[in-house]
């Protein structure tokens, strides 16, 4: 397994995506609960999308870290 600067940067970027996703989902849930307007919690959908992007970033980064090849 290779742990170079690229792998660590990929993990950090994935972590930022996931933190942003959690924040947006929490904000969306609070808005939906406190508002009666239609579509008040739609920001949570964006959060779910960003969470998927973060998970895929982590998956791809870890996959590149374990695939044999040049160091």
Q: Is residue 46 part of a domain?
A: yes
Q: Is residue 2 part of a domain?
A: no
- Per-residue pLDDT at 45: 92
Q: Is residue 5 part of a domain?
A: no
Q: Is residue 3 part of a domain?
A: no
Q: How many domains is the chain built from?
A: 1
Q: Is residue 4 part of a domain?
A: no
Q: Is residue 40 part of a domain?
A: yes
* Letter string b/e over residues 33-51, b meaning 16 or more CB atoms within 10 A of that residue's CB: eeeeeeeebebbeebeebb
Q: Is residue 1 part of a domain?
A: no
Q: What is the pLDDT of residues 9-36, one digit of tens each?
A: 999 999 999 999 999 999 988 888 888 7
Q: pLDDT band for position 6 (50/70/90)?
A: confident
Q: What is the pLDDT of residues 43-67, one digit of tens each?
A: 889 999 999 999 999 999 999 888 7
- Per-residue pLDDT at 27: 92
């Amino acid at each position: 397994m290779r742990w170079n600067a690229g792998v660590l940067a990929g993990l950090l970027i994935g972590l930022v995506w996931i933190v942003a996703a959690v924040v947006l989902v929490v904000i969306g849930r609070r808005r939906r609960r406190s508002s009666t307007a239609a579509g008040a919690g739609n920001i949570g959908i964006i959060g779910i999308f960003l969470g998927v992007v973060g998970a895929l970033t982590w998956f791809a980064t870890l996959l590149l870290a374990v695939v044999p090849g040049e160091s």
